[in-house]
Structure formats: structure tokens, C-alpha cells
Amino acid sequence: TNNTVIQFFHTSSLDGPITSVKLFNISTQKQTQDSTENGRSLNLLVTSAVELGCIYLDVLQSGLQESPLMLPSSDLHDSVLCSEIANLSFTGQNQIILGTYGKRLLVYELLERAVPRKYEAELIWEREFAHPIHQVMYCDITGDGLSELVLLSSAGLHILQHDLSQICQICLPRLEVLNDRLTTT
């Protein structure tokens, strides 16, 4: 017997076809019991073929009742076809990555703000490609232990790798702190 019970049911009306939906946490840190503290709430990214991409913040608490946070300029490059959530900057905060039919890769970050909204989406970088981007993934495709941004376009597969000198600048101080902690205990 199946004892599945639907505890919550939320609806929202959007114009045009939905192209991607992702649930994510803003912070990459482990979940705590208090899921609404320090950016650890569950958020919903929704992209559309004809509208701005949007984020419903803290959907477990608010559902889809509050107006979504819009991703500025996400509708200027034809349809958004795909999305990914990843910590590209190694800051402990996830970025929102969109691939468009207009041959653009858009990367957003959620910045904490005061009243009236808790967050604001900011386009932090974009890159143009020769062909529409149909899929984007952040995974370790090279097997070196470091994830790459993998794009599938109508021309083939594109792999964007981090600059290893920048990764060293980020990781070495962190490893030194870990080493100090291990040697002092």
C-alpha cells in the first residue's frame, strides 16, 4: 500500500512554456534544523521561454504566495533553455547559471539586502557563444577533482575550466587553516 500524503499544494500562473525548474539552497553549507536561518532555506528557480527567470524564496515556508525575485535581463537573450545551480566562485554561496537560445551564458548571484526584500539578484557575468546553449551542468568531467562548467550547444560540447592559479589562491589559505587546526589538537 502507498501511504503518500500531499502536505502542501501551491500553484502559480506564468505566461509561456516553462523551460527549467530547480530547487536549491543559497548557501552551500550543510542544512541545519532551522532551515530559514543564514540562507539555508529551500528556493525554487523557474525559467520560461518568454518571461524573466524568477526565484521563489523559501518555498517551504512561503509556498508560491510571495512575489518572486526576478532575474534582471534574463529575457533579453531570446529564450532561457536551461539552468544550473553551482558555487562557481568558491564563496560558499551558490550562483544561478542560465543558458539561452540567444547564445548567452548568464551567471547571477543573490545579494543580501535590507527591507523590503531579503535578496536581490545581480548579473555578475555573462559570456557569448557561437550557438544556442541547450544544457548546462557543473560536474567533474575531467576527473581531476575540480568541477567544470559543461555546456551543450547546437555545435557540440564546451567545457569551461577554472583558472588553476586562482583556485590555488583560494585553496592554499584554507588548507593552511585546516593544517593548523589538525596540528594544534
Per-residue pLDDT tens digits for 19-54: 999 999 988 765 544 444 444 689 999 999 989 999
The pLDDT value given to residue 35 = 44
N-term to C-term CA, the chain: 52
Q: Are 69 and 55 within 8 A, CB to CB? A: yes
Instruction: Give ∠ CA 76-94-155 in degrees, rounded to 5.
Output: 50
Closest CA to 63 of 84, 41, 39, 48: 41
The pLDDT value given to residue 40 = 60
Of residues 77 and 4, which shows the higher confidence score? 77
Q: Are 49 and 19 within 8 A, CB to CB? A: yes
> Can you tell me the distance from the alpha carbon of 45 to that of 175, in angstroms, rounded to the nearest whole number?
33
Please give the model's pTM, rounded to 2 decimal places: 0.81
Containing 84, the helix (H) or strand (E) segment is strand 80-86
pLDDT, tens digit, 9 for 90 and up, residues 88-146: 988 889 999 999 999 999 999 999 887 666 889 999 999 999 999 999 999 999 888 88
The pLDDT value given to residue 177 = 86
Closest CA to 57 of 36, 43, 71: 43
Instruction: Give ∠ CA 27-31-36 in degrees, rounded to 5.
Output: 75
The pLDDT value given to residue 87 = 94
**Mean pLDDT for the stretch of residues 76-83:** 93
Distance, C-alpha 147 to centroid of its chain: 14
3-class SS of residue 99 = strand
